[in-house]
Amino acid sequence: MTIRSNIKANQSTRMNVLTPEQCQELVLAAEEAMWRTGTNFHDEESLEIMKKAGCWVDGERVRVPAHIFEQALKTCQKHIVLCNSRTGARELFVEGNNSYFGSGPCTPFTRNPFTEERHRATRQSVGWATKVLDALPNIDYAMSLGIVQDVPLLISDRHEFEQQILHTDKPIITVCVDQWGQADCIKMAEIVAGGEEELRKNPFICLYAEPISPGVHCREAAQKLVMGAKKDLPTIYTPCIMAGGTAPATLAGVMVQGLCESLSGLVLSQCTREGAPFIMGGVYTILDMATTIFSYGAPELSLLLAALADVAHYLEIPMFGTAGCTDSCIIDEQAGIEAAISVAMTNMSGANLNHDIGYAEQGATSNLDLVVICDEVLGMARRLTNGIRVNEETLALDVIEDVGPGGNFADEDHTEEHIEENYMPKLINRAAREIWENAGGKTLTQVANEKVRDIINHHEPEPLPKDLAAKIRDIVENAVGHMPGED
Amino acid sequence: MATIEDLSKYVIKGNVAKTKKLTQALIDEGAAPLEIINQGLIAGMNVVGVRFKNGEMFVPEVMVAAKAMSQGIEMVEPLIVEGEMPSAGKVLLGTVKGDLHDIGKNLVGIMLESSGYTVIDIGIDKAPEAFIEAIKEHQPQIMGMSALLTTTMLHMKDTIELMKEEGLGNVKAIVGGAPISQDFADEVGADGFAPDAASAVDLCNSLLS
């Protein structure tokens, strides 16, 4: 018998971009920027809240003293759980080194998986997308993959939410057009959960807002954040910044700019209501200097967000990351490379809740073929992070002795008992050439597209009870839009 | 002896100090002011434009070249008879009401200025009335509106309609931003749409040709 003593073992493959000392340096720099430069809040209520809490308010500019930020860091909830909308089962533990993945929101366009046409997203396209997300085993939650645009645009978020809640029981991250839209979506979620208290106890929705970089919190974003805190619902605050455009060109400078914005949001959230569940978000990338686009496929995106995961772990707060997306206009080799690198790297970094699976064309168009491909990539990525278990059973010395030189392990009981240790692909082709040719000689994208069509045609999500669906419909039908810039 | 060709080279290299020094030398030597601008400064910038399109130069290099060019032009400008100052045209830019996003608009402005346009940037969150007032004041040939959101882009139509009501239909209206498409531009009655900052320059060139 092997006696093991004082052993350190890796439960998972690990990756760090930054040391704790470097994380501290970045956080302290962000604290300095929050104080020296500050950020602008275009919202009266937020200015009042922050002033009352002791922040220095000069017009729209808010400077956060370090002790107020440090207090906010102490009070914010470190343990956030997202639940199943039908059963209330507690499913996603958005904390520690847990990594969950899902789609992205708000693409103006989508690609129809049947006609291959690129068109503006519709009620139907969001319904289809949600069905696909619901069916895929490695996708943990749903974002809409499109702004519904075949309805009045000012209330598109209510239609989006309706399509989502009808087609999945997985947690939903809802991105609303403004505070009024968010209020309606919360109302709908409360109906499904069985009341305000029930939703708060077992939240299946997560709210979302983003500042405008550099350093501007528009009214809608600030109001959504304040509402999330008052309602005690998990709220993501995610700067979308680009090196050399809305942030310094240096990646450390990007980190400081992004942290300054999201942590100012944390301060607003905690000053509104201590203990409010807050998730630090980020889409940190580069401004591509040849095309002037916000890149969703740059290696810097994955590098920056893995670094942000290090900072989130250092601060012990949940974070929202980005992966599974591409700048490519179609799902080709480029899309596969960019999506796979970002998924694998993000998963290894231990970022908690990761979005934008299915984004093509720099985030302008959603693509369900890519979602299905990423589901497979996630299976592979998770195998990578499962690492290698080393113990008496897995060292398999007895089997090596039994089989001996020139033997065969394929028919050993030990092989059968441990077959699930290794990943079995669902889409990836490993067949011999003749077999692959006889099956049609298809590319991965073709196989993925067939799967998308099959899910849309045949998958049946857990239905929402009819009386609840009717109440949701009622809210959608009575929704009132607010023109931006007008009260 | 320094030549006008050398001036173009300094602009292409983005060497602000040498561009200014050589511009002054050429002025002192009595070179024709319009020649300094057209064959030296703008000629250099035209090369930069071509190289950017070919992927041989990048945004920061274009910006520093544009800075060299404009500082050279500033030195020559007082010597030019009023009305003879070359300009590709005047473009007024702004982000629509309710929208505070402006990086895209700013990049369009930089690209247009680099191509010899005079750019008036009225900023963010601008109501249709603010666009009209600015058009009346600055009298541009082109008015460009930017929006990042599907909600705020609705203000574009109001602005174009108000322009027509106010008798400003001769000013070309162009639109851009992540949710904008050619179809949308047609729907709101815009004269043009460009998918990125560099192609906005081509669009303006074609609208004014």
The per-residue pLDDT for range A417-436, each reduced to its tens digit, is 998 889 999 999 999 999 99
Look at residue A1 in the predicted model and tell me its pLDDT.
61
The tokens of A442 are what? Answer: 């298809």
Nearest to A216 among B97, B100, B155 (CB): B100
**A292/B101 touch (CB, cutoff 8 Å), yes or no:** no
**pLDDT at site A28:** 98
Residues of B in contact with A287 (CB under 8 A): 59, 103
The arithmetic mean of pLDDT across residues A67-92, rounded, is: 97
What's the maximum distance between 2 C-alpha atoms anywhere in chain A?
80
Distance CA(A401)–CA(A217), nearest Å, equals: 66
- Taking any CB pair shorter than 8 Å as contact, residues of chain B touching chain A are 52, 55, 58-60, 97-101, 103-104, 107, 125, 127, 149-152, 154-155, 178-179, 181, 196-198
Nearest residue on chain B to A176, judged by CA atoms?
Answer: B151
Nearest to B150 among A149, A292, A486 (CB): A149
3-state class (DSSP) for residue A356? strand
* Contact (Cβ atoms closer than 8 angstroms) between residue B103 and residue B148: no
Preferred mutation among B103, B148, B153, B175 to probe A, highest tally of A CBs within 10 A: B103
Residue whose C-alpha is closest to residue A105's, from A142, A156, A137, A135: A142
pLDDT in tens, A105-157: 999 999 999 999 999 999 999 999 999 999 999 999 999 999 999 999 999 99
User: How far is residue B144's CA from residue A482's CA, in Å, rounded to a whole number?
Assistant: 24
Mean pLDDT of chain A: 96
Number of DSSP helices (H) and strands (E) in chain B, helices first: 10, 5
Confidence grade of residue A485 (pLDDT, cut at 50, 70, 90): confident
* Closest residue in B to A120 (Cα–Cα): B179
Q: What percent of chain A stands above pLDDT 90?
A: 95
Q: What is the pTM of this model?
A: 0.94
Say what the pLDDT of residue B83 is: 77
Q: Nearest Cα to B92, choosing from B156, B36, B140?
A: B140
> Cβ atoms within 10 A of the Cβ of A123, count?
17
Q: How many helices (H) and strands (E) does chain A have?
A: 18, 19
A291–B99 CB contact, under 8 Å: no
B contacts of A291 (beta carbons < 8 Å): 196, 198
Looking at residue B1, what is its pLDDT? 67
**Nearest-neighbour CA in chain A from B68: distance (Å):** 19
Q: Is A95 on the interface with B (CB under 8 A)?
A: no
**Which of A212, A290, A486 is the closest to B100 by Cβ?**
A212
A156 in contact with B at a CB cutoff of 8 Å?
Answer: yes
Which of B64, B99, B100, B187 best tests the A interface by mutation, with the highest count of A CBs <10 A?
B100
Q: Which residues of A touch B59 (CB under 8 A)?
A: 244, 287, 289-290, 292
Dist CA A362 CA A366 (whole Å)? 10
pLDDT of residue B81: 83
CB nearest to A484's CB, from B58, B149, B198:
B149
Region of poorest pLDDT, from A74-78, A252-256, B59-63, B192-196: B59-63
Give the mutation candidate from A39, A149, A153 for the B interface (greatest B CB count, under 10 A): A153
Determine, for residues A485 and B98 on separate chains, whether the beta-carbon distance falls below 8 Å.
yes
A216 contacts in chain B (CB < 8 Å): 100
Mean pLDDT of A387-396: 93
Q: Do B98 and A153 touch (CB under 8 A)?
A: no
Name the one residue in this structure whose structure tokens are 């956030």.
Answer: A80
Q: Do A364 and B198 touch (CB under 8 A)?
A: no
As a whole number, mean pLDDT of residues A290-308 equals 96
What kind and span of H or E run contains A110? strand A109-111
Cα distance from N-terminal residue to C-terminal residue, chain A: 75
Q: Is A357 helix (H, G, I), strand (E, B) or coil?
A: strand
Cβ of residue A483 closer than 8 Å to a chain B Cβ? yes
Instruction: Find where tokens 């005690």 sit.
Output: A232
Mean pLDDT of A174-199: 97
Low-confidence ranges of chain B (pLDDT < 70): 1
Mean pLDDT of A79-99: 97
pLDDT at A5: 86
* Residue A292 to residue B59, Cβ atoms within 8 A: yes
Q: How many CB atoms lie within 10 A of CB A61?
A: 14
Q: What is the mean pLDDT of residues A19-39?
A: 98
Spatial distance between the Cα atoms of A381 and A100, rounded to a whole number of angstroms: 12
Contacts B127 to A, Cβ<8 Å = 485
Q: Are A325 and A297 in contact (CB under 8 A)?
A: yes
Asked if A149 reaches chain B (Cβ–Cβ under 8 Å), the answer is yes
- Answer yes or no: is pLDDT of A454 > 90: yes
Chain A CB contacts of B103 under 8 Å are 242, 245-246, 287
Q: Between chains, do A108 and B150 touch, taking CB under 8 Å as contact? A: yes
Please check whether residue A486 touches B, CB under 8 A.
Answer: yes
Note whether B152 contacts A108, CB cutoff 8 Å: no
Smallest Cβ distance to A292: which of B127, B155, B197?
Answer: B197
